[in-house]
Amino acid sequence: MCGRYSIGAEIQALAKQLDNQVPRGFSPNFNAAPSQELPIVPNHKPSSFTLFQWGIVPFWAKEEKKRLINARSETILEKATFKKAFQHRRCLVAAGGYYEWMKTKEGKIPYRICLKDEKPFVFAGIWEHNQQSGQGDFCIITTAASPSVAHIHNRMPVILASEAIDFWLSDSEDYEGLQDILRPTEDALLKAYPVSRQVNNVQNNNASLIAPQNEPV
């Protein structure tokens, strides 16, 4: 799964790469968490990042507490909760890295996973209109973890390859083709390292959270 990630000043590089604009009011977030408003590029407005709330409230939910933050790539066309969004409301989620917790005898150790060249990237996502709040919500699509990080967690968010971005944001109805690009990232592109356990508390939000720790604290 993916339950926490970071997006900082590197969003400027992403905006330049995607030829769009950084949203007003955006502040670097080193501990992005569900229910927060975070920058995405929705397919209906690809010219700029927009702040949407992380976590889709499914149509069958009676309250907003039932937010779904991840959707499995393997079943996204089968689940009624996600199918229509996958077909018509796709998005890019800006990120610099994401966190996963590895289970050990001493407890869970937080790791940050990012690209080896430390360049920013985008997760594949879907979005929905929130009928209760009138705002937009998004969900991150996950897949099986790449072998190099599977020992930390068996799932990972889908990091879209640059050449797949336009296809993902297009109006294509080639749903099988779209599902096919939702693959694990190549091992050669990834790196993972332990970070401070301060990331466990969502109230902590500063650049020290993404710094490597020789011994997790």
Q: Which residues are catalytic?
A: 2, 100
CA angle 195, 209, 64 (to 5 degrees): 105
CA angle 97, 99, 100 (to 5 degrees): 140
Cβ count near 194 (within 10 Å): 17
The answer to whether 180 and 174 have CB atoms below 8 angstroms apart is: no
| CA-wise closest residue to 50 among 76, 78, 70, 20 | 20
The answer to whether 109 and 196 have CB atoms below 8 angstroms apart is: no
Cβ count near 49 (within 10 Å): 26
Q: How far from the centroid of its chain's Cα atoms is residue 172's Cα?
A: 22
- Can you tell me the distance from the alpha carbon of 150 to that of 189, in angstroms, rounded to the nearest whole number? 14
